[in-house]
């Protein structure tokens, strides 16, 4: 969940390192640092908190050198302090690291006994002293790293520089992403292509277990067995324009407002607009014999998977199992012949999701992934990649990626239905027509945010908030609760409305707003009775529906009106109010909307 960068440059690198770190801040932002080789010596500047604090530190005490590494941190081991910020270093070696070294304590004790002095609480510092120990023993940096890597247990992406070696940087990857950039008499290293976009678009992605020896004239890559290997360079699509907020106050606001456009792009990718029917990539499996779809993801992507389950089971009549990746990876469920395993991930780098993908591949499943980053690890390890065309999503709280995931899932459900003969051509055309109206409806919904600004004031006083939904709206209740808690820090829970009487109703009093996602579909009467049960106990109700407020039969704290649309498309439309409720409540609370505390955009550690 950290961002790492390295430059073997032709001019002083500290400014470029910081610029690259700014493009990686979404991966973690609790501290940052850079280190360079200058006149044969290692120099370092680090700062706690946001990148601007590091910039200040460097302005006060500049760092020269044409070779350097940088890091923006999401703390795993050791508090987010300057002492624990990367790069870590000894006199001879400096390292930046993304991942978790699981045997760091044993290494630390062994290295301390050999006289190494530690000054941080991090797992990464054990890597520094292990490589230093091997360097002292062998006198050669490459041999030292080759000897050290097998002693590490756990996940890492490493960038390593050495005192006295101005034309050398070593990189290594196991379980965390790492890319090499090829420049003019310069070489680059980064957690992803976005960081390297201003320097080069020629990118080589290291594979699992790879180690790379970078010099200005090129890179030598060794595979997990230590054998020299060629990895092809690709042209990166990452834009060199640093994504900016436009005229929005936050990236999240911008990304909420981009949804009509990016959902259109995603739908156009899967639907033949002229024919009014899905035009889906070949999944490479006999769909008529498809036995089961297994979906695994994390967080918001998992909730998208839950929505997908309702659609696929209803329209393609095939059983769907959905589970959070952190559970499925250790549950190791038995999987059937002719099964499709589908992974949903905005970043394409979520460690738990990638782990389940590898398990399902071992179990002979056909692997498909719905990702927003085409060059990500999950995409590269899939048989079929189903892209969301949401564009870079910078806000940590996922919004446009979620609705684009839904657009892809809805299209997949129809493709499976047609292939399996479980939907007629007429029904397919009707449902596709409904999908094609979604961008227009969402544009209408994001045009007026005033109801949310008022509601935010009421919700900001809440101790807890309950979200309720029934049927395909239940995952939207879960998503709404996640959005609210992750950016406003107010505790919120999503519940199946039918579960209310099985416990959560005990929570209800005038201090617990209840947000009910209830389009007027076949289940709304039942949900209305839940609403009245809440009202009867003094609960404050926010009803999100396409009906009239008085349909609730009780007083409401607020009614959020959603346009009438085809019921098939409700999950896409009802995502908007729960996003805007969370956004405006967080703004009212004054939290860091785009970079909420303790979170990072891409969870590349388990
Ligand atoms: C969503 O708002 C959160 N930021 C988080 O739950 C996220 O959806 C989850 O970490 C999965 O990330 P991914 O889609 O990149 O795999």
Select from 173, 86, 163 the least CA-distant residue to 121: 86
Which tokens belong to 172? 């290594």
Which of 1, 250, 256, 298 gets mutated to test ligand 1 (max ligand atoms within 8 A of its CB)? 298
CB 389 within 8 A of CB 266: yes
- Ligand 1 center from residue 441 Cα (angstroms): 25
Which tokens belong to 390? 């949401």
Q: Is residue 233 pLDDT above 80, yes or no?
A: yes
Q: How many residues does the chain have?
A: 606
Cβ atoms < 10 Å from Cβ of 606: 17
Eight-state DSSP code of residue 207: P
- 3-state secondary structure string, 474-493? HHHHHHHHHHHHHHHCCEEE
Q: Which of 15-29, 142-156, 373-387 has the lowest mean pLDDT?
A: 15-29
Q: Is residue 12 pLDDT above 60, yes or no?
A: yes
Rounded to whole angstroms, how far apart are CA atoms 591 and 487? 7
CB 68 within 8 A of CB 34: yes
CB 542 within 8 A of CB 557: yes
601 is catalytic: yes
For residue 486, the ligand 1 atom closest to its alpha carbon is 2
Select from 207, 262, 257, 258 the least CA-distant residue to 231: 207
Which of 398, 488, 592 gets mutated to test ligand 1 (max ligand atoms within 8 A of its CB)? 398
Select from 455, 482, 478, 475 the least CA-distant residue to 540: 455
Angle between helices 299-316 and 400-419 (to 10 degrees): 20
Which tokens belong to 498? 């039918």
Segment 251-307, tens digit of pLDDT: 999 999 999 999 999 999 999 987 889 999 999 999 999 999 999 999 999 999 999
What is the residue with the minimal CA distance to atom 7 of ligand 1? 299
- Give all strands of the β-sheet with 339-345 in edge-to-edge order: 320-324, 292-297, 339-345, 366-371, 384-387
- Ligand 1 center from residue 298 Cα (angstroms): 6
CB 338 within 8 A of CB 290: yes
Which residue segments constitute the domains of the chain, with CATH numbers given? 3-247 (3.60.20.10), 254-436 (3.40.50.10490), 448-589 (3.40.50.10490)
190, β-bridge pairs? 5, 179
Q: Is residue 574 pLDDT above 70, yes or no?
A: yes
Instruction: Provide CB contacts within 8 A for 395, sequence distance 6+.
Output: 250, 251, 252, 254, 255, 593, 594
Which of 382, 603, 604, 606 gets mutated to test ligand 1 (max ligand atoms within 8 A of its CB)? 603
Please give the average per-residue pLDDT across 458-482, as a whole number.
Answer: 96
What's the pLDDT score for residue 50? Answer: 87
- Ligand 1 center from residue 118 Cα (angstroms): 34
Residue 141, helix vs strand vs coil: helix
Catalytic residue among 254, 309, 400, 601: 601
Segment 402-448, tens digit of pLDDT: 999 999 999 999 999 999 999 999 999 999 999 999 999 999 999 99
Q: Is residue 239 pLDDT above 70, yes or no?
A: no
Instruction: Provide CB contacts within 8 A for 364, sequence distance 6+.
Output: 335, 337, 339
Rounded to whole angstroms, how far apart are CA atoms 247 and 251? 10
Sign of the C-alpha dihedral computed for residues 150, 153, 156 and 159 taken in this order: negative
Looking at every residue in the chain, the average pLDDT score rounds to 93
Distance between alpha carbon 281 and the CA centroid of its chain, in Å?
24
DSSP alpha helix (H) spans, 294-399: 299-316, 325-331, 351-362, 377-380
- Ligand 1 center from residue 300 Cα (angstroms): 5
For residue 483, the ligand 1 atom closest to its alpha carbon is 2
Which residues have CB under 6 Å of ligand 1?
298-301, 345-347, 350, 353, 396-398, 486, 602-603
- Ligand 1 center from residue 602 Cα (angstroms): 7
What's the pLDDT score for residue 141? Answer: 98
- Ligand 1 center from residue 8 Cα (angstroms): 33
Q: Is residue 28 pLDDT above 90, yes or no?
A: no
Select from 473, 493, 472 the least CA-distant residue to 481: 493
Segment 513-570, tens digit of pLDDT: 999 999 998 888 888 888 899 999 999 999 999 999 888 888 999 999 999 999 999 9
Rounded to whole angstroms, how far apart are CA atoms 238 and 373? 9
CB 216 within 8 A of CB 185: yes
| pLDDT above 70: percentage of residues in the chain | 98
| pLDDT bucket at 242, cuts 50 / 70 / 90 | low
Q: Is residue 238 pLDDT above 70, yes or no?
A: no
What is the residue with the minimal CA distance to atom 4 of ligand 1? 397
CB 216 within 8 A of CB 197: no
For residue 397, the ligand 1 atom closest to its alpha carbon is 2
**What is the pTM for the complete model shown?**
0.82
For residue 599, the ligand 1 atom closest to its alpha carbon is 4
CB 181 within 8 A of CB 200: yes
CB 180 within 8 A of CB 10: no
Which of 300, 349, 479, 494 gets mutated to test ligand 1 (max ligand atoms within 8 A of its CB)? 300
Rounded to whole angstroms, how far apart are CA atoms 179 and 4? 10
What is the residue with the minimal CA distance to atom 16 of ligand 1? 345
Segment 81-92, tens digit of pLDDT: 899 999 999 999
Q: Which of 202-216, 370-384, 525-539, 577-591 has the lowest mean pLDDT?
A: 525-539
Q: How far apart are the first and last CA of the chain?
A: 10
CB 272 within 8 A of CB 299: no
DSSP alpha helix (H) spans, 372-449: 377-380, 400-419, 425-436, 438-445
Please give the average per-residue pLDDT across 118-134, as a whole number.
Answer: 96
- 3-state secondary structure string, 225-276? CCCECCCCCEECCCCCCCCCCCCCCCHHHHHHHCHHHHHHHHHHHHEECCCC
| pLDDT above 90: percentage of residues in the chain | 81
For residue 482, the ligand 1 atom closest to its alpha carbon is 2
At residue 428, φ and ψ (nearest 5 deg) are -60, -45
360 is catalytic: no
- Ligand 1 center from residue 297 Cα (angstroms): 9
* Residue 464, H or E segment: strand 464-469
Cβ atoms < 10 Å from Cβ of 69: 30
What's the pLDDT score for residue 96? Answer: 97
Q: Is residue 244 pLDDT above 80, yes or no?
A: no
CB 187 within 8 A of CB 181: yes
Go through 105-126 and write b for each residue having 16 or more CB atoms within 10 A of its CB, e for each that does not: eebbebbeeeebeeebebbbbb
Cβ atoms < 10 Å from Cβ of 249: 12
For residue 399, the ligand 1 atom closest to its alpha carbon is 2
Rounded to whole angstroms, how far apart are CA atoms 558 and 556? 5
């Amino acid at each position: 969940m950290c961002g790492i960068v390295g430059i073997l440059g032709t001019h002083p690198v500290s400014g470029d390192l910081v610029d690259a770190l700014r493009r990686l801040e979404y991966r973690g932002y609790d501290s940052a640092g850079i280190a360079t080789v200058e006149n044969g010596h290692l120099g370092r500047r680090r700062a706690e908190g946001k990148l601007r604090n590091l910039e200040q530190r460097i302005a006060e005490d500049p760092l020269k050198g044409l070779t350097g590494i940088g890091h923006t941190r999401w703390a795993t081991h050791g508090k987010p302090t300057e002492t624990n910020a990367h790069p870590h270093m000894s006199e001879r070696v400096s390292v930046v690291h993304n991942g978790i070294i699981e045997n760091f304590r044993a290494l630390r004790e062994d290295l301390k006994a050999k006289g190494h002095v530690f000054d941080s609480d991090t797992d990464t510092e054990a890597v520094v002293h292990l490589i230093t120990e091997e360097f002292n023993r062998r006198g050669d940096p490459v041999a030292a790293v080759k000897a050290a890597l097998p002693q590490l247990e756990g996940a890492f992406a490493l960038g390593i520089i050495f005192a006295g070696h101005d034309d050398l940087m070593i990189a290594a990857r196991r379980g965390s992403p790492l890319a090499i950039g090829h420049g003019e008499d310069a070489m680059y290293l980064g957690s992803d292509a976005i960081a390297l976009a201003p320097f080069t678009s020629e990118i080589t992605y290291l594979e699992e277990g790879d180690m790379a020896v970078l010099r200005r004239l090129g890179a030598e890559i060794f595979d997990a067995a230590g054998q020299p290997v060629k990895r092809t360079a690709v042209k990166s699509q990452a834009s060199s324009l640093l994504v900016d907020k436009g005229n929005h106050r936050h990236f999240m606001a911008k990304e909420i407002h981009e949804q009509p456009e990016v959902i259109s792009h995603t739908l156009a990718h899967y639907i033949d607009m002229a024919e009014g029917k899905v035009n889906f990539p070949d999944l490479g499996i006999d769909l008529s014999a498809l036995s089961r779809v297994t979906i695994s993801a994390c967080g918001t992507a998992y909730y998208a998977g839950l929505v997908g389950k309702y659609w696929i089971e209803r329209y393609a009549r095939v059983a769907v199992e959905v589970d959070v990746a952190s559970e499925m990876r250790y549950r190791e469920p038995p999987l059937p012949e002719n099964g499709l395993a589908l992974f949903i991930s905005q970043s394409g780098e979520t460690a738990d999701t990638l782990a389940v993908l590898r398990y399902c591949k071992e179990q002979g499943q056909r692997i498909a992934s719905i990702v927003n980053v085409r060059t990500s690890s999950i995409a590269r390890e899939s048989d079929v990649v189903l892209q969301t065309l949401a564009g870079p999503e910078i806000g940590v709280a996922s919004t446009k990626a979620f609705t684009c995931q839904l657009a892809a899932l809805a299209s997949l459900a129809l493709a499976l239905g047609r292939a399996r003969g479980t939907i007629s051509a007429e029904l397919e055309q009707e449902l596709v027509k409904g999908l094609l109206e979604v961008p227009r409806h969402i544009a209408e919904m994001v045009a007026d945010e005033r109801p949310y600004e008022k509601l935010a004031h009421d919700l900001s006083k809440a101790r807890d908030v309950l979200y309720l939904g029934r049927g395909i709206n239940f995952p939207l209740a879960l998503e709404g609760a996640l959005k609210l808690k992750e950016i406003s820090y107010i505790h919120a829970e999503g519940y199946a409305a039918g579960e209310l009487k099985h416990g959560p109703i005990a929570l209800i009093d005038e201090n617990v707003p209840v947000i009910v996602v209830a389009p007027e579909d076949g289940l709304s009467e039942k949900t209305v009775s839940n609403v009245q049960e809440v009202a009867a106990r003094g609960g404050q109700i926010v009803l999100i529906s396409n009906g009239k407020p008085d349909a609730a039969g009780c007083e409401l704290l607020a009614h959020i009106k959603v346009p009438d649309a085809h019921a098939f498309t409700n999950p896409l439309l009802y995502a908007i109010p729960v996003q805007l409720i969370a956004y405006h409540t967080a703004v009212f609370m004054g939290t860091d909307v785009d970079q909420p505390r303790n979170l990072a955009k891409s969870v590349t550690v388990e």
